[in-house]
Each structure stands twice: as structure tokens, then as C-alpha cells.
Chains A and B, each alone.
Chain A
């Protein structure tokens, strides 16, 4: 049983007229309540994999099974309905929301679209979601641009869990936050995973963070998997050249943090 199974995924782009593989023959699985991290240098294909898995772009080859059914076979209304189960949190929480939106509308949309709560019931649901991510329910009336970056990322997490997903893709979701806020957000993510058994595809270039939150890690290099395995084992003793280089670039203090 797996939440997500990706096999032989490939995506090509053109650069200067020549085709190159942004993602090349990538396969992995994520189990329920598991965190799989994707690490790798800039341009190694992490975000491309995230967008493929979310069906924001289409692969050139490969297979994606989500909750044991062919995710690539879905289209139109069936795909939109299925999206309730696989959500995303972006790196920049300001860019991830409509600049005109309020907190309430951002959380209202998924509840309305997936028919999770009636119109009369939704304000209560929104308040409960805000409290679930550690925010004051009174924040609902605020515009997105009025609240702090950390609060915004909590709202993004509240929106992602609104439809009770089994998998959340986090693309550098804590990278833009300052260190103290980052710790609180990671704590929230771990708590949600424990209680609601959500799996994470956790993209980060920070091996210290990966070691702290991920069960397994895949290290990518130019679109291919260079190495994968238990997160602690890979971070303490990388085998691939790119893995060694990434670890060497991470300060020792962070690397050995429990």
C-alpha cells in the first residue's frame, strides 16, 4: 500500500533549441504518514517533480499512481475532484495567494469547491481550520497581505489540509521563513502528520531540516536520482559525489542536530 508511486517519470524541456531532461527516469514511493524528502542542487528537477506529481504539468513518460489508482488517466471534473486528496504548499506564501484575497476566502474556496461544508457551516469550519494551525480565528477577516509571512504559511497549510488530503507536496515551504518561525512551522507539520496520517513530499535544499523531519531522502542530480535511503543515514554518510558535496556545504552544527 502506498499513497504515491511514481515510476520512470521523465520530463524534457528545450534549452537553446536542444532538448534536455529536467526529470529523467525517476521512480519512488511514499507510504501513509511518511515524509520523503527531495534534495539536490538548484536546477536538479525538484520543483519539476512536484509539478508533475500535482498534474500542473504533464510528463513525457512514466506512470503516477496516487492512492493505488492511475493518476495520469484522470482529466476534467474527475481530476479536479481527486485533487482534494493531494495538496501543495508553496515556497513564497505571498505569491501563493490571490493578492485580492482575504484569509476567509482562501479557506472558503476548497470547502466550497469540494462540497465539504454548506455555506452556512463554512465560517465555523474556517475558524476551526485556523485554530488547527495555531492561528486566531479572528484572522479570517484580514486580507492576505495584512498578515505576517509566518501566519501566511500557516494559512497555506490550513488551506492544504481543508480537504483532508493524504499527501501534501511542500516545495521549499519553510525556506523563506526566518529560523524561529521555521521551527514552529516544522513542528506544526509533524503534529499534523502524527494526528491525521498525512504523507509529505518535502522538497528542501537544507539537509539539516531534511534530517530533522524526513524519513527517507532522495538526492537528485540533473534530473536523475543520485542516491536515496534513510534520511539520517544519507545525511551522515552520503555515498554519491553530489550527496557528499551537498553535505559538505551544510554546516556541521546543523548536520548533527538531533
Chain B
């Protein structure tokens, strides 16, 4: 496992991995440590942190347990971030592969569509999509993916354009393989590494977009989200700043952790490639 050792070679990657691990533990432990409804009232309203040890981080404006909300919010952030990024990478890889491999009119049409999506700011796109379809977890994931697949599509297309000239693609045609099988079975897997290198940035951006949507009240109302907590706390920012600060710090740390860990992975594979 020299690959793992190389990944943990830089302090940034270690920090990123530690934050991510903590986040994953929080997300997984949330229903065990806080089995009740995190949106239910747990005590007196606006209890400051570190006063009552059954409510370590205090309560919000409605008397809900902030620590429970924080843990359950990690679940939402992680789920939405990963699902949206996975959807964006999948759509991008498929569109980019089809465009690059087919060429001609199909390439032209697909890339114009990609251009169109790229010109609209992705946050506005997500905002419009959720306002029209209505807020639910699935819709939020789709809305974020809608604005995030163009980058992977371009990277996949560029990679496919170079791969499709290789001898083994000609070899696959010579043995009579169907063009779709060549595109998705022979070419796509070899075009994936640079596409996957984008995933940390996309996950981080997706987590931020989800928080922003929730902040504007466009998140799933049945889910606790960090963005929603920040928005809630904003109304009592002067008297109880911790209500916004705590989820804000969680958000920043998460995005940083995802980014650092992603960079670590890219770097360790890049080192491996330049060595081989």
C-alpha cells in the first residue's frame, strides 16, 4: 500500500482526511447519538452553549438541540454533496464521451448544449430549478448536478478525442465491436482519471450550493441543514451569534477537508504516474 503511504505524505492531506473521517463518523452516528427528531423542541429557547451538559451546544430560537442539528446536518451535507457530484460526474462523462467519440453533428449539438449550461451561473440555475420543481432532497441534488456536469463533460471529451486515435480503438473496430461498446467499454474507462480528479472540487462546490439553497429557504424543509441553521441564527445574530457561527465553522471545515483530501489523492496518483 505505498499509494496510501504517499497519500498520507503531506500534512494537508492528513488534515483533509481527518476532517472527512470526522464528518463521516458524525453523519453515520447522528441517528444513534440523537435518535429523536432533531427538529423537535428539546429544552428552553436560546440556551447558550456549555451551560447544560445534556444540551452541550445549547438550543436555538425554538429550543431545538444545536448539537443534534449539527450531526444531522452533516448527514444532509454529505449526502447531497456526494450524490450531486456523482450525478454530475456521470452525466459529464457520458456526454463528453459521446461527443468526443461520435464527432461531427452529435459532437456539435452536445457541445452547444454544454456551452449553454455553462453560460448560466450554476447557482442561478439551481435556484430556478428548485423554485419551479419545489424543494426536496432529490430535487436539490438534481439542481446542483445540473450546474456541475459541464466541467467533467469537457475534460472527458478532450481525453476521449486523444484516446480514440489510439491503435486499440482501431483494433476494437477491426474485430467488429459495436461503436457504443467501444465508446463506453474501451474508451470511457481510460478517460476517467482526469475526470475523477475534478471530484473534490465538485463535491466541495455542491456542499456549498446546498447550504446556499437552504440558507435561502429552498432546502428540503424536512431535513436539518447547516445552511438552514445559519439562516435561522441570522435573526438573532446579535444576542446569540453562536447559532450561526457553529454551523458556519462546520461548513467551512467540511469544504476545506474535502478539498484537501481530494488534492492529496490527485497528488499521490500524479506522483505515481510521473514515476511510471
Contacts and interface: CB of A to CB of B under 8 A. Distances in A.
Contact of A83 (B168, B174, B189): B174
Contacts of B172: 98, 109
A90 B171 contact: yes
Nearest to B186: A98
A113 B177 CA distance: 7
Given A87-B174, A113-B176, A163-B175, A99 B190 contact: yes
Contacts of A163: 175-176
A7 B173 CA distance: 24
A100 B190 CA distance: 8
B273 interface: no
A110 interface: yes
A56 B174 contact: yes
A88 B176 contact: no
Contacts of A159: 171, 175
B176 A96 contact: no
A95 interface: yes
Interface in B166-218: 166-168, 170-178, 186, 189-190
A66 to B, nearest CB: 13
B86 to A, nearest CB: 22
Interface in A25-54: 51, 54
A83 B171 contact: no
Question: Secondary structure of the B side of the interface?
Answer: helix
Contacts of B178: 80, 113
Contacts, number: 55
Given A81-B176, A110-B175, A110-B176, A90 B167 contact: yes
Nearest to A57: B170
Contact of B189 (A90, A92, A100): A100
A54 to B, nearest CB: 6
Nearest to B185: A98
B190 A54 contact: no
Nearest to B177: A113
Given A88-B171, A92-B167, A83 B190 contact: no
A84 interface: yes
A9 B189 CA distance: 37
B174 A109 contact: no
A54 B174 contact: yes
A124 interface: no
Contacts of A92: 167
Contacts of B171: 88, 90, 96-97, 159
Contacts of B173: 56, 83
Given A100-B189, A100-B190, A95 B168 contact: yes
A119 interface: no
A12 interface: no
Contacts of A51: 170
B66 to A, nearest CB: 49
Interface string A38-82: 000000000000010010100000000000000000000000110
A114 interface: yes
A163 B172 CA distance: 13
Given A98-B190, A99-B190, A100-B189, A88 B174 contact: yes
Nearest to A109: B175
A87 B171 CA distance: 9
Interface in A104-118: 109-110, 113-114
Given A83-B173, A109-B175, A113-B176, 13 more contacts: A51-B170, A56-B173, A80-B176, A80-B178, A81-B176, A84-B176, A87-B174, A87-B175, A88-B170, A95-B166, A96-B168, A98-B172, A163-B176
14 contacts: A56-B173, A80-B176, A83-B176, A84-B176, A95-B166, A96-B167, A96-B168, A97-B171, A98-B190, A99-B190, A100-B190, A109-B172, A113-B175, A113-B178
